[in-house]
Structure 1
Amino acid sequence: MISVASNFTWPTLKLSQWISPSHHSVSTFDRTYIVLAICMYMMGLVMVASSSMPIAERLFDNPFHFVVRHLIYICLSIIIAALTLQIPMAFWHKHSFKLLFLAMLLLLIVLLIGRTVNGSTRWIVIGPITIQAAEPAKLFLFCYLSAYMVRRRDEVMENVKGFIKPLIVFGVLAGLLLLQPDLGTVIVMFVTTFGLLFLAGAKLWQFISVAAVGLTAISALAYFSPYRWARVTSFLDPWKDPFGTGYQLTQSLMAYGRGEFLGQGLGNSIQKLEYLPEAHTDFVMAVVAEELGFAGIILVLVLSMTLVIKALLLGRKAINKEKYFEGFFAYSIAIWISFQAAVNVGASAGIVPTKGLTMPLISYGGSSMIIMTLAVVVLIRIDHEIRLQSIQATSSHSKNKRKKVGVNE
C-alpha cells in the first residue's frame, strides 16, 4: 500500500485558481465534492427552516430554534472536515480495528446511559452535546470491512470462512443496535456489507444464501415485534387507519399530492403545521415535495446521485491504482449514501416502510450531518492522494527523462 501523508494544499490556492484553474496548474483535489456538499447543506438548511418553525414555536417559543442548531451542526461539520482532511488514508487503514472497537463501545454506552425518546434508546448526552451512536458505527464498520477486504480478499473470494467473518462482526453490531432498537441502521449496514462483499468478488451462491438468511431474519424481526409489524401493515394500506398507525404516511402522501410538479411555493406547506410528525427530520422530503414539487425532489435526488456516482467512479479508479483499501472504502460510502437516500425518500413516498433514516446532508440531525460530512471528506482525501501519487509519478518520470537527455548530450 502506498501511503501519502503530505499536507492538503487547499488553503494556499487563490480564489481565481479555485474557480477556474489554468491548464498549466494541476489540481490536487476534486472541487466537485465540496460544491455538492455545500449545495446539499444549503438545500437542507432552507428546508429545515421551513419545516421546523411551527413545532419549534410551540416547543421552545422560538421559531428559529432548530434552524440555529442546524446551522451550528453545519459549521461544526465544516470544522471537523477541515481537521479530518489532514489525516492520510493510511491512518484509517492502520486503525480500522480500533475504530470498530470504538463503535462497539459507543453502542454499549448508549444502552447503559443513553437517553430514551419515543421508546428508543439511541442518544448519548454529554452536556449540550447529543451523540447518536449508530451514526459513527456505520462509518467505522465500513472502514473496518474495507481493511478486511484488503487483508483477506483471496479468502473472501475462495473460502466460506472469509465470507462469514465480516458477517459475524456485522452480527455483533446488529445485535447491539436491535437492543436500542434501531432496525433501520441494521438494514443499511447489512445492505452495504452485502454490496461490499459482492464487489470484493465473493461467489454468487454465498450471496444468495446470505440474502435468504438476511431477508428471513428481517421479516421475523418485523413479524414478532408489534410496533414494527404495525409499521409494515400501515405502509401497505395507510388509509385503512389514517388516524392511527397510518397517520404519518397519509399526511406525507398528502404533502406529495399537493406539491404536483412545481410545488406550492417555499414556506407554503400545510402539512408542516404539525400535521406531519418529524417534518424536519425523517420526513423533510415530504415538505420538499409539497413546497418545491416534483422538481424539488428531482433536484435533491440529482445531487445525491451525482455524489454516489462520483464515489463509485473514485472507488474503481483507486482499485485500478492498486489502492484497494481506498477503493473499497469509497465503494462502501457510495452504497451507504445511495441506499439511505433511497429508503428515506421511499418511506416518505409510501414505497417502503418507515425506517427512521435521515436524508444524507439534508435532514436535521447533528450526528448524521457530521458523519455524512466525514464520509465526503474521506472521498476527497482518497481523490487527493491518488492525484498526488500521479503528480509525483509524472514528476519523477520527467526528472529521469531530463537526466537521460543530459547524459546523452
Structure 2
Amino acid sequence: MKPVSSLENKSEHDFNLSTISSVINNVGTSVAKVFDSEPTPQSGMVFDRSFIILALVMYMIGLVMVASSSMPVAERLFNNPFHFVIRHTIYIVLSLGIAGVALQIPMAWWQKNSSYLLIFGIFLLVVVLLIGRSVNGSTRWIVLGPITVQAAEPAKLFFFCYLAAYLVRRRDQVMEDWKGFAKPLVVFAVLAGLLLRQPDLGTIIVMFVTTFGLLFLAGAKLWQFVSLASVGILLLSLLAIFEPYRWRRITGFLDPWEDPFGSGYQLTQSLMAYGRGEIFGQGLGNSIQKLEYLPEAHTDFVMAVLAEEFGFIGIASILALSMVLVFKALMLGKKALAKEKFFEAFFAYAIGIWVCFQAAVNVGASAGIVPTKGLTMPLISYGGSSMIIMTLAVVILVRIDHELRMQSIQATSSKRKSRKAGEMNE
C-alpha cells in the first residue's frame, strides 16, 4: 500500500506543479498583453489612453494647487480669492477644446507646414517686442482682450516641429557635414536673440538642451557635440556674467542665506516651504509661505507650496507622473523610429526631452538645486499659454501613437487578407 500512496502523492504533486505552472504562464501572457504597445484589430485600442489619463490627473492636481496657493494674493489684488482658480479652469477647458481639434490633424500636416509654423513663432516673438506687455521687467506677453499669450511657448513647440522635419530632410548632412549640423543652430540663434530681448534666458536653455538632445539622437558626430556644448556654455556664461540681475540670481542661488531679504529672498522662502513639508506635509491649505511670503507661489514656485502641504510624498508623486509621461514619449519615439516614421520619432523625442528638462528646472529652482529661471511646471503651474501648448504637445504624442497603431492594424489586416487569398487559391 505504501508504494501506491507514494505514487498518488507524486501524481498529486506533479498535478499541482503543472497547475501552478499553467496559471503562471497564463498570468504572464495576460500581463504581456496589457503592456504590449502593438494592438490587434479586435482590441479596438486605436490610441494610448494613458497619455490622456496622465494629463487629466496633472490638470486636477494643478487646479487644486493653484487654488490653494493663489487665494491670498487673489484676494488682495482682485478682491476675489477665486480669481486665478476661475481663470485656470477656463484655461483647462480651452486647452481641452484645442486638443479636440488638434487631435484631428495628421502628422503629415505638421511636417509639411513646419517651416510656416516656425515663421509664425518668429513673428510672435517680434510682435511681443513691439506691442507686448511688461511684467517684472520682462516683455513676454501679447494682450488679446482678456487673453494674454506668452509668445515663447508656441515658439518652442514650433521650433521643435521644424527641427524634427529638418532632421528628416537633412539627416545625412547632419551626420556627415558641418553645414548640415550648423543650419538648425542658425535658426536657434535667431530665436535666442529675440528671446534675449524679452529677456527670457530660461526658454533659451530649454531650447538649447532639446536641440542638443535631438542632434545627438539624429547621429551627429562627437566632435560636433563637443563644439556645440563648449560654445553654448561659453555664451550662457557670458550672458550671466555681463547682465547684473542674472549674476545676482546665480550668486543668490549659491548662498541665498547671505542676503535673505534681497537677492536670496524668494529662494529662502521656498526652502522654508520645503523644510516645513518634511515627509507627509502640513496638509492641503495649511501652507504658510503662500500667505504672500513666497512670491509667484501659484506660477513658478507652485511646487514649493505643494512640498509644504504634501511633503516629500507629494513632490515624489508629481515627479513620478512627469517621469512616466517623459518615458512614454521617449518610448513612443523609439517605436516610431523602428517603423521608419522619422519625423514622428524626432518630434516625440523633442517633446520628451522638453518636458523632462523643464520639469527638472522648475523643481530644481524651487528646491535651490539650480538658479531660478521662470519656467512653469508642465500641466501644473498657473498660466494659459503654457497649459495650452503643453496640452498640444501631449495631443501630438497621442496622434503619433494613433497613427502608428493604425499602421499596425492595417498591416495586420493586409496580411490576413493575403493569407486567406492564398488559402482560397490552394
TM-score grouping bracket, smaller chain normalisation: over 0.9
- Give how far 1:160 is off: 0.7
Residue 23 of structure 1, CA deviation: 9.5
Counterpart of 1:161, as a letter, is: K
Structure 1 partner of 2:354: 336
Which amino acid in structure 1 is aligned with residue 201 of structure 2? L
Residue pair 2:41, 2:412 contacting (<8 A) in 1 also: no
Q: Which residue is 1:12 aligned to?
A: none
Q: Distance in 1 between matches of 2:42 and 2:280?
A: 43
Counterpart in 2 of 1:46?
64
Give, in angstroms, the shift of residue 24 of structure 1: 3.9
Question: Which residue in the other structure is 2:43 paired with?
Answer: 25
Where does 1:228-307 land on structure 2 (aligned, <5 Å)? 228-307=246-325
Counterpart in 2 of 1:11?
Answer: none
> What's the offset of the Cα at 1:26?
2.9
Which structure 2 residues correspond to residues 167-186 of structure 1 after superposition, within 5 A? 167-186=185-204
The yes-or-no answer on 1:198 pairing with 2:216 is yes
Equivalent runs, 1:4-403 vs 2, <5 Å = 24-403=42-421
Query: Which letter does structure 1 place at the counterpart of 2:298?
Result: H
Counterpart code for 1:61:
N
Q: Which amino acid aligns with 1:99?
A: L
SS in structure 2 of the partner of residue 401 of structure 1: helix
The letter for the 2-side match of 1:384 is H
Which amino acid letter does the alignment assign opposite residue 183 of structure 2? K
Give the distance between the partners of 1:40 and 1:245, measured in 2 at CA. 32
Provide the identity percentage. Answer: 74
What is the CA–CA distance in structure 2 between the aligned matches of 1:47 and 1:292, rounded to whole Å?
10
Residue by residue over 1:344-376, the C-alpha shift from the partner in whole angstroms, topping out at 9 and shown as x without a partner, is 000000000000000000000000000000000
In 2, the alpha carbon distance for the partners of 1:56 and 1:127 equals 20
Distance 2:119 2:251 in 1: 37
Question: What SS does structure 2 have at the residue aligned with 1:80?
Answer: helix
CA distance in 1, matches of 2:110, 2:40: 33
The amino acid of 1:388's aligned partner reads: M
The CA RMSD measured in Å over matched residues stands at 1.0
Structure 1's consecutive aligned runs of 4 or more residues displaced over 6 angstroms after TM superposition are none
TM-score using structure 1 length = 0.94
Report what 2:5 is aligned to: none
Q: Note the residue ranges of structure 1 that are not aligned, 5 or more in a row.
A: 1-20
Secondary structure, in 3 states, of the residue corresponding to 1:282? Answer: coil
Indicate conservation of the 8 Å contact 2:173/2:180, yes or no: yes
Structure 2 gaps of 5+ residues are 1-38
Per the alignment, residue 12 of structure 2 pairs with: none
Residues 41 and 409, structure 2, Cα contact 8 Å, conserved in 1:
no
User: 1:334 is matched by which residue type in structure 2?
Assistant: G
Write the deviation string for residues 32-85 of structure 1: whole angstroms up to 9, x where unpaired.
000000010000000000000000000000000000100100000000000000
- SS of corresponding position for 1:340: helix
Count of residues in correspondence between the two structures: 388
